[in-house]
Homo-oligomer: A and B are copies of this chain.
Amino acid sequence: MSRLNSFIARLTAQRDLLDHIADENMLPARGAILEIGLGNGRTYSHLRERFANRRIIAFDRAVAAHKSSIPAAENMVLGEIAVTAAGFTGQNAAMIHADIGAGYEEADALTLTWLPDLVVSLLAPGGIAASGLPLSHSQLEALPLPPGIAPGRYFLYRSFG
């Protein structure tokens, strides 16, 4: 499969998973959504459309987003994500979306040394994590994916911490 086909499949899985979370009202009643890795801001655009009443806070090293998808200053946190996001520990986020896989095994393995703990520390009990990388943690329960998303394309968890 070409990398173009793989990319289309991954973005489609991401979109379908976020729509599933919205359609099924899976989030706790309160709490912000954290976008871990803003990038071009396309997913941020989708989150704003599907979760219009939530505060959405984005984290990235620097702003590289299209001008139409740049969060307001109070919702954009710049710096090393592993450091800056840790400052939000205990604030009980309703959901975290993280799509920060680099496409290189070694870099992704390094990310996975800190991302699962961070996600658990940020989420409210019952909070939802959608991730492009698998998150292995004793306080995260893997949830079934909606139909049409191949296993391994995207990952869905609920925190019971």
Hey, which bits of chain A sit against chain B, CB under 8 A? 2-5, 7-8, 11-12, 14-15, 40-43, 45-46, 48-50, 66-69, 103-104
**Contact assessment for A3 and B103 in the assembled complex, using a CB-CB cutoff below 8 Å:** no
* Complex partner residue of A103 from B5, B12, B50, B66, CB under 8 angstroms: B66
Among A2, A12, A40, A50, the most chain B Cβ lie within 10 Å of the Cβ of A2
A41 CA to B48 CA in the complex, in Å? 29
A3 surroundings in chain B (CB, below 8 A): 40-42, 45-46, 66, 68-69
**Contact assessment for B11 and A46 in the assembled complex, using a CB-CB cutoff below 8 Å:** no
6 nearest A-B residue pairs (beta carbon):
A3-B45, A4-B46, A2-B46, A3-B42, A4-B42, A2-B49
